[in-house]
Amino acid sequence: MTTFVSHTGRLTAHALRRLSRQPAYLLFNLIQPMVWLLLFGELFRRVAELPGFGTGDYLSYLTPGVIVMTAMMSAGWAGTSFIEDMDRGVMDRNLTSPVSRGALIAGSLAHQSVVTVIQSLIVFGVGLLAGARYDGGVTGVLVVLACAVLLSIIFGALSDAIALLVRQQEALIGISQFLALPLAFLSSVMMAPSLLPPWVGAVAEYNPVDWAAVAGREALAAAPDWSRVLGHGGLLLALAAVMSWLATRAFRAYQRSN
């Protein structure tokens, strides 16, 4: 375990050093979320006045949803670093070194988690400046960050696994984009559950994006339903563990095809 933690720490530090040399990556991935937050927040602000919406402030409703969407979409690119390592021959050297497969996945997911926290705090700050209010205070913000991190682990692990299987950046990006928007719109990220079409609400019950959005939004409420927060958070945690395990197993398929 000590070796695993040490290897994970070194791989994470290496990935973060690469990120520090390309800080524009963080801002580039925030362009689309800012459009959703500021443009959609203004265009659809009257939606919150509909009966049954549940809150009178659409921007406050939308902000945790945008954070969740940002975490998912940013994590969809996680596997590109694996493909770059494959192209340079670094992946094969890593697999013949003492570094464990689990540490390679954990390092990638830890790096993605740091990126998610930074981006989420930026979105929180922009939302606050635009007029959003977070009645749940610091505790609510921390819960949203935790949900965003768990979601980034789920989709980061999926991205890593796909990268090991397809080995092509174009295919990875195509698959990630194919999944991202449908999952976002088949959830309550932008619209209150009570106003969703029944079939969308039924799909959302099994959608991890919706789990994160519901848990985060509930934690930011003035009187949170913590049983709901913990229930959805538990589902995210369980799925994150399963996806991390599956991503580690994907190394077997990669090695067999070499």
Which tens digits make up the pLDDT trace of 133-142? 999 999 999 9
Would you tell me the crossing angle of helices 80-88 and 137-166 to the nearest 10 degrees?
Answer: 40
Give the residue-averaged pLDDT of 202-221.
95
Give the residue-averaged pLDDT of 98-110.
86
CA–CA gap between residue 219 and residue 224 (Å, rounded): 5
Q: Helix, strand, coil % (nearest 5) of the chain?
A: 80, 0, 20
Q: Are 209 and 187 in contact (CB under 8 A)?
A: yes
- The type of residue at 103 is A
Instruction: Examine the pLDDT at 1 and tell me if it is beyond 70.
Output: no
Residue 258: the pLDDT is 64
CA–CA gap between residue 78 and residue 3 (Å, rounded): 24
Q: Where residue 25 falls among pLDDT bands split at 50, 70, 90? A: low
Residue pointed to by tokens 């009645």:
135
Residue 23: the pLDDT is 66
CA–CA gap between residue 42 and residue 88 (Å, rounded): 46
Give the residue-averaged pLDDT of 14-24.
72
* Pair of tokens at residue 91: 């992946």
Between 36 and 239, the higher pLDDT residue: 239
Instruction: Examine the pLDDT at 47 and tell me if it is beyond 70.
Output: yes
Q: What digits encode the pLDDT tens for the residues 161-186?
A: 999 998 888 888 889 888 888 999 99
| Percent of all residues in the chain with a pLDDT value above 90, rounded to a whole number | 47
Give the residue-averaged pLDDT of 197-210.
94
* Residue whose C-alpha is closest to residue 128's, from 43, 189, 210, 67: 67
Instruction: Examine the pLDDT at 218 and tell me if it is beyond 90.
Output: yes
* Pair of tokens at residue 79: 């596997």
* Pair of tokens at residue 162: 């796909």
Instruction: Examine the pLDDT at 192 and tell me if it is beyond 80.
Output: yes
| All residues at 6 or more sequence positions from 58 whose CB lies less than 8 Å from its CB, including other chains | 41, 44, 45, 46, 47, 48
- Predicted structure pTM score: 0.91
Strand segments (E) across 31-173: none
CA–CA gap between residue 178 and residue 251 (Å, rounded): 23
Q: Are 60 and 132 in contact (CB under 8 A)?
A: yes
